[in-house]
């Protein structure tokens, strides 16, 4: 906590005050292609901008194509050589996820980096078009399915290029306070016991569990792909539109803990690009340094159960 307040660098040489540009300084990503979900606004946009600055070919995956194209133009305005493309993706829709993956594969591009950044927060109870609670559907299930659909492409890329693939799941420190037991497998869609903050925390716990289980599976098969999760920090972005007043009040009392957007994108960019993390997988990062997540987030049995549960939800959605 003290390190976060003071901005003092940790073992990585970076800390809470570091920006995405600083943590990627000197890195050349000209041979890399990355997908950034939710890359059109907030820390996703800053992540896309900085990756493009480091010569990475960035695919912005976004639900709102108008906003995505505006984001592309804003990046190109200051970096005319940026390689930026946009593709439509609604993570709350299994069919949209499948369509995005098909469209991306049709481009016949390599895929080195997948940043599962998009998310929603503290929204009122709602079911997705597939009948799944919206925060769980958007923050976890869509990314779970998207990652599975793109894994073969990432494996092909890492094998043919010899360059390690990296998957980054954006989680949150909120993962420490989900519903009792972590994931409500039997009550995932129960409206009468829904609590928006606990549901958000549940989805962020799921992001870490997903990363850990996928990391284990990829290590088991010897794939040259790492999977890690990150907490970007407290940043006022459009993610907080459902709780703007509450967050402003909270920020007034905790102002020294909050980051700006360039600082908020730093940990994502560090984990996605920095050479010091070569071969590092199944870890959780905050302020560009490794931290230990909650006990539930380290529960291997829970991670395996979540994997099976998520697979069943996706399969059920595809049949409807």
Q: Which residues are catalytic?
A: 194
Q: From the centroid of its chain, how far is CA 312?
A: 22
> 127 near 134, Cβ under 8 Å?
yes
DSSP state at residue 132: S
- Rounded to whole angstroms, how far apart are CA atoms 202 and 210? 12
- For 163-215, give the DSSP string: PPEEEEEE--GGGGS-BTTB--TTTTT-STT--HHHHHHHHHHHHHHHHHHHH
- Rounded to whole angstroms, how far apart are CA atoms 174 and 198? 9
- For 43-80, give the DSSP string: HHHHHHHHHHHTT-EEEEEES-HHHHHHHHHHHHHH-T
Q: Say what the alpha-carbon torsion angle 282, 285, 291, 295 is, to the nearest 10 degrees.
A: -60
Beta strands 57-62 and 84-88 are parallel
């Amino acid at each position: 906590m003290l390190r976060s307040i003071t901005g003092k660098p940790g073992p990585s040489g970076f800390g809470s005050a570091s920006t995405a540009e600083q943590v990627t300084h000197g890195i050349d990503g000209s041979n890399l292609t990355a997908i950034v979900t939710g890359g059109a606004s907030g820390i996703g946009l800053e992540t896309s901008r900085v990756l493009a600055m480091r010569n990475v070919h960035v695919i912005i995956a976004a639900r709102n194509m108008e906003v995505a194209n505006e984001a592309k133009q804003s990046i190109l305005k200051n970096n005319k050589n940026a390689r930026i493309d946009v593709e439509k993706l609604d993570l709350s829709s299994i069919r949209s996820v499948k369509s995005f993956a098909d469209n991306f594969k049709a481009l016949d591009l390599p895929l080195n980096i997948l940043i599962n950044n998009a998310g929603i927060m503290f929204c009122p109870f709602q079911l997705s078009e597939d009948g799944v609670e919206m925060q769980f559907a958007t923050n976890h299930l869509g990314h779970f399915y998207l990652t599975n659909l793109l894994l073969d492409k990432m494996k092909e890329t890492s094998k043919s290029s010899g360059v390690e693939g990296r998957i980054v799941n954006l989680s949150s420190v909120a993962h420490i306070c989900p519903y009792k037991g972590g994931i409500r497998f039997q009550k995932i869609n129960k409206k009468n016991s829904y609590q928006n903050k606990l549901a958000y925390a549940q989805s962020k716990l799921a992001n870490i569990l997903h990363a850990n289980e996928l990391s284990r599976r990829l290590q088991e098969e010897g794939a040259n792909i790492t999977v890690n999760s990150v907490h970007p920090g407290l940043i006022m972005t459009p993610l907080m539109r459902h709780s703007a007043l509450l967050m402003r009040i909270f920020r007034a009392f905790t102002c020294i803990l909050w980051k700006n957007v360039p600082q908020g994108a730093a940990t994502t960019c560090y984990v996605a690009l920095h050479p010091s993390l070569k071969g590092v997988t199944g870890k959780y990062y905050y302020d560009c340094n490794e931290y230990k997540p909650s006990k539930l987030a380290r529960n291997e049995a829970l991670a395996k159960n979540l994997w099976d549960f998520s697979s069943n939800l996706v399969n059920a959605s595809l049949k409807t």
